[in-house]
Structure 1
Amino acid sequence: MVQIWFMDNEQTDQRLEHKRSPPKYLELSELYKKTGVEYFKINADDYLNDKQLSELRTTRGYTYEDEITCSEKCLPDYANKLKSFYTEHLHTDEEIRLVLDGSGYFDVRDGDDNWLRIQVIKGDMIIIPAGIYHRFTLDTNNFIRAVRYFIGEPVWLPHNRPADDMDCRKAYLQNLGQLGKA
């Protein structure tokens, strides 16, 4: 089961959860209400035939996909790439990731600007809404293989914080206000 918890603001090794007290875990339904992040469990061993993934791809219009492996062996300029992934940013499109192997962390900001850490493992698929501040890092296993989905041609342009004047950020905050009322 996916684990989600509030992070402290310790700025040491990004791959670890440094806490002065036990973490406060969130239920999956709370993650959606607080951030708009969606979660799905997919059969990673047979994802090409997974009915739920197929339905998501059709209904949401995901027409392009690629695969990324993040590890010291496979990722050119590994250290700098990890730093860039961990820099707080947003995108103008959804960020969709299905973990095929390995593990890592997606950190997202809630409506009160707190960090929530989402631990992802094999079979976890998350959809991070356009306009949300987030970041990614590996855990201490230093390996993840994931499929990335896009609507149309991939747009992979991070906009580092602050980007509060962007239309996607304004729309995200407006949508987040509606989620909180649901």
Structure 2
Amino acid sequence: MRAYYFDSLPGDQRLPHDSTHPVSEETLKAIGVLYSRIPIDAAGQWEQKINAIASERAYRNHDIISISKAGLGDEFESKMKMFYEEHMHEDEEIRYILEGSGFFDVRENPTDAWIRIHLDAGDMIVLPSGIYHRFTLDMGNKTRTMRLFKDEPKWKAHARGDETDVNPYRLEYLKSFPGMRAAA
């Protein structure tokens, strides 16, 4: 995992867009983003570690999603644009990269700056409910990812806007920051 501020320059979303200003794990934790490195090993110890995390966080289900040009065919570009639209979810988003790599961009609070997080196989990220974020592949154009969830997934993406800014899950997220007042 490598995290840094997004440079906001025009260009393909799958390029690094590295501002050369790194972001520490402590900064990520401060905005509620958790990271773990769980190397994939042939003995399957990674599965035991994932199961322990799932149990600890009361996650009972998971699935595996593969994203690639070969797998999505003609829908590849439209799916990439959809994943890259800024949004939030009402559930935590837990992702464990099994193969390939990609970027999660998250909004820093209170600056609203984009932080880009590059993940490879063996990286796990937990995004809190209510955080604005987006996802894109990198130039490798493929990933196979395990998604964990409590019961049935609530992955409805709430696009950023006035209505989402007052979503109860967004307001609860903002309350987690000292000195922040949630809009009524």
TM-score where L is the length of structure 2? 0.88
How many Å apart are 1:54 and its aligned residue? 2.4
Judged with a 3 Å threshold, the aligned counterparts in structure 2 of structure 1 residues 60 and 17 are, in CA distance, closer, same or farther, namely same
**Aligned ranges 1:80-159 → 2 under 5 Å:** 80-111=78-109, 112-159=111-158
Q: Which runs of 4+ in 1 moved over 6 A?
A: none
Judged with a 3 Å threshold, the aligned counterparts in structure 2 of structure 1 residues 61 and 44 are, in CA distance, closer, same or farther, namely same
Q: SS of the counterpart of 2:145?
A: strand
**Aligned ranges 1:1-182 → 2 under 5 Å:** 2-18=1-17, 23-33=20-30, 35-45=31-41, 49-50=45-46, 51-75=48-72, 77-111=75-109, 112-162=111-161, 163-177=164-178
Counterpart residue type for residue 74 of structure 1 = G
How many Å apart are 1:47 and its aligned residue? 8.8
How many Å apart are 1:30 and its aligned residue? 1.7
Q: Which moved more, 1:49-58 or 1:39-48?
A: 39-48
CA shift digits 1:3-58 (9 cap, x unpaired)? 10001222321111345xx510122122111x210001113245964343222111
Q: Which moved more, 1:50-59 or 1:153-162?
A: 50-59
Gaps of 5+ in 1: none
Gaps of 5+ in 2: 180-184
**Distance in 1 between the 2:152 and 2:44 partners?**
20
CA contact (8 A) 2:84 2:134 kept: yes
How many Å apart are 1:119 and its aligned residue? 0.3
Judged with a 3 Å threshold, the aligned counterparts in structure 2 of structure 1 residues 158 and 48 are, in CA distance, closer, same or farther, namely farther
CA contact (8 A) 1:45 1:100 kept: no
CA contact (8 A) 1:47 1:53 kept: no
**Distance in 2 between the 1:38 and 1:142 partners?**
24
Alignment RMSD (CA, Å): 1.7
Judged with a 3 Å threshold, the aligned counterparts in structure 2 of structure 1 residues 58 and 159 are, in CA distance, closer, same or farther, namely same
CA contact (8 A) 2:16 2:138 kept: no
How many residues are paired up?
174
**Distance in 2 between the 1:153 and 1:101 partners?**
24
Identical residues among aligned pairs (%): 40
